[in-house]
Structure 1
């Protein structure tokens, strides 16, 4: 690559002029945090509940934006989310992060989930990385210890999922699906991995490195199906897979998150890199549609071809990561094709819009919320950051 890829400036503009301004406008000056919902008509809902996962993802997004650009406005946005997390979402009595607050910041759902704690670690670590705020590092360390002491089950060799406010284990209602209630999920494990990767970058403690190595071992030895080139999704406590689901979005996301962890912790197990490439190749062979988009998942013989916003975002990072590892031009071409589709179909062209949740095969939006407990800037702003930094690095190495 002798010149910066043509998509570089398009992605940078999308990030700085479209994604970040949308979320900055949702800052709630009256009650703290950010408005909990923007509906499909682009109407903000100031009285909507405020999810902890959404707040953590907003915190991560603006902290990362500040770290990369140095723009003070992004630091202010991140600090606003940090204050809401520490003042309203952190349980002062039993520790850990609650699931949901109301619009004023009062506790609405006090359940604890390891997935949620992991996003707290991820966001707080990034905030410290960007600002040096010692309180953020201390809280990230506390949440890490909670995940390790309460969340990790030594007997079954996996992270538990859901708890009540007092940390009594509960059925995993919040992160199950496909008609099952899973004791163990791939989703929680890959997001604990990404959280610990960022934590290790700011706090290179040997115990965190051991946790990363153990997580990679779980993913490879317990969840990875080498024959199908996928990570199985749901398990019971005996590690029996509960469904025949291939989640293309999670597989391609996991591929680059695994590589990121390998590099951060300087781990050398060759099986892990083989898993990274096997996942990327499998998604490239089975999930790419004729229009250049990435389908959602396959359950048994049923294909879900919905074009979901976060799946496209993670696929572009995952395939660019695969290109960096292999030099195979086909992976880079996939990035360009997915970007062409995303910019033409998934990015909302309306004034004041962001990205649609998903569109169908004809490009029709699904009518779901534009912002909400699960619809946040983390996937698409992170895609922008990762692709921009990686393309710059490729340009410098050319």
Structure 2
């Protein structure tokens, strides 16, 4: 196990973080918005609101876990960019997209993006003790609740224009549907609120976390199949035959993190966490140890995506901690071996490929863009490091 810890720590500190640190934009703020598959930087590429928050979370958490002061300087840089440029001081909330100079380009507000703001700002507060960061995290929490939660639907709504008028959920819908409610947004609100609760154990926030866990158990999780639903209409009816293996195993440990943070001993919730992990292990793991992407209308997509492998390692390690079933530990090691061999980009100046096909050939997709950042693989490293120190 010590070998895994050392390899993961080395991957974080000697490969992942140094790659992203080279993208710091000292002139315009934030990080350079795009690195293509051929490792060419586009310094005039757009900068995403979500990706900025993800960078802020990563460098904040990296400082908190390692104590390396350099990481905090990057977190400070990203915090100022988020507050000064990504945050809408007129109408509240975080913008979806900025141009390379930091001027708003897509001013729409998505609850998913606001959740990442809460997640990043609460983590930055954990690292820096900057009270203004905590205040903004709390403000975004209130925005999510006031603008985003629908009592009628008992769900968080998705997409809005700049002034918070509801619009069609184009940004988080796919597979030929327009979803009024998504699993993706709900698991990331849960993730964000859990992190905020660690530094702000407020009564209303606690109530919302309990409510989110209930939504996941009663609405999103299918107790028969053990999969999570992905896309729903306004009545919580599933509108697509999709199983997202990566999201399921990610949700398993994020749900458990909320359970632990609230000190809950609710058997049905703990069983859900474990059953999701067993289901994905039984259904979606390849013989080579990797995790497949998804199943749509009965057809399995066996593409191996970078974030799916990263989240699976954390999810299965969490399941091992819950159950002490050694089979989960074997999955952790086989996933890591596969990732080292196939997903990690061994080219000079590379990071992790977006994905590889069934033969292990890399997909020619960006290494950095508004959706690909340091968050999933950086977090996998940090989670394993923290958990193994505790062990």
Tell me the TM-score normalised to structure 2 length: 0.99
Note the 1:95-110 alignment, pairs <5 A.
95-110=92-107
Give 4+ residue runs of structure 1 displaced > 4 Å after superposition: none
Distance in 1 between residues matched to 2:3 and 2:320, nearest whole Å: 17
**Is residue 50 of structure 1 aligned with residue 68 of structure 2?**
no
Distance in 1 between residues matched to 2:6 and 2:235, nearest whole Å: 49
**Secondary structure at 1:19's aligned position in 2?**
helix
Residue 269 of structure 1 deviates from its aligned partner by 2.2
**Native 8 Å contact 1:320 1:331 kept in 2:** yes
Distance in 1 between residues matched to 2:24 and 2:2, nearest whole Å: 34
Match of 1:367 among 352, 361, 364: 364
Residue aligning to 2:111: 114
Residue 301 of structure 1 deviates from its aligned partner by 1.5
1:69-94 CA-partner distances (Å, limit 9, x unpaired): 11111001111110110000111111
Note the 1:297-312 alignment, pairs <5 A.
297-312=294-309
Distance in 2 between residues matched to 1:269 and 1:149, nearest whole Å: 28
Residue aligning to 2:120: 123
1:326-358 CA-partner distances (Å, limit 9, x unpaired): 000000000000000000100000111100000
**Secondary structure at 1:363's aligned position in 2?**
coil
More moved, 330-339 vs 295-304: 295-304
**Is residue 338 of structure 1 aligned with residue 365 of structure 2?**
no
Residue 209 of structure 1 deviates from its aligned partner by 0.8
Residue 13 of structure 1 deviates from its aligned partner by 0.4
Note the 1:1-398 alignment, pairs <5 A.
4-394=1-391
**Native 8 Å contact 1:213 1:267 kept in 2:** no
Distance in 2 between residues matched to 1:218 and 1:65, nearest whole Å: 31
Distance in 2 between residues matched to 1:265 and 1:139, nearest whole Å: 22
Residue 268 of structure 1 deviates from its aligned partner by 2.7
Distance in 2 between residues matched to 1:169 and 1:271, nearest whole Å: 34
Distance in 2 between residues matched to 1:330 and 1:269, nearest whole Å: 24
More moved, 39-48 vs 266-275: 266-275
Distance in 2 between residues matched to 1:222 and 1:293, nearest whole Å: 29
Distance in 2 between residues matched to 1:25 and 1:126, nearest whole Å: 22
Distance in 2 between residues matched to 1:119 and 1:267, nearest whole Å: 24
Residue 375 of structure 1 deviates from its aligned partner by 0.3
**Secondary structure at 2:41's aligned position in 1?**
coil
Distance in 2 between residues matched to 1:193 and 1:301, nearest whole Å: 29
Q: Which segments of 5 or more consecutive residues in structure 1 lack a partner in the other structure?
A: none
Distance in 2 between residues matched to 1:328 and 1:239, nearest whole Å: 34
**Secondary structure at 1:67's aligned position in 2?**
helix
Distance in 2 between residues matched to 1:32 and 1:170, nearest whole Å: 30
Distance in 2 between residues matched to 1:346 and 1:185, nearest whole Å: 28
RMSD value over aligned CA atoms? 0.7
**Secondary structure at 1:303's aligned position in 2?**
strand
Tell me the TM-score normalised to structure 1 length: 0.97
Residue 5 of structure 1 deviates from its aligned partner by 3.5
**Secondary structure at 1:298's aligned position in 2?**
strand
Residue 300 of structure 1 deviates from its aligned partner by 2.2
Q: Which segments of 5 or more consecutive residues in structure 2 lack a partner in the other structure?
A: none
1:189-210 CA-partner distances (Å, limit 9, x unpaired): 0000000000000000011111
**Native 8 Å contact 2:65 2:386 kept in 1:** no
Residue 267 of structure 1 deviates from its aligned partner by 2.2
Residue 55 of structure 1 deviates from its aligned partner by 0.4
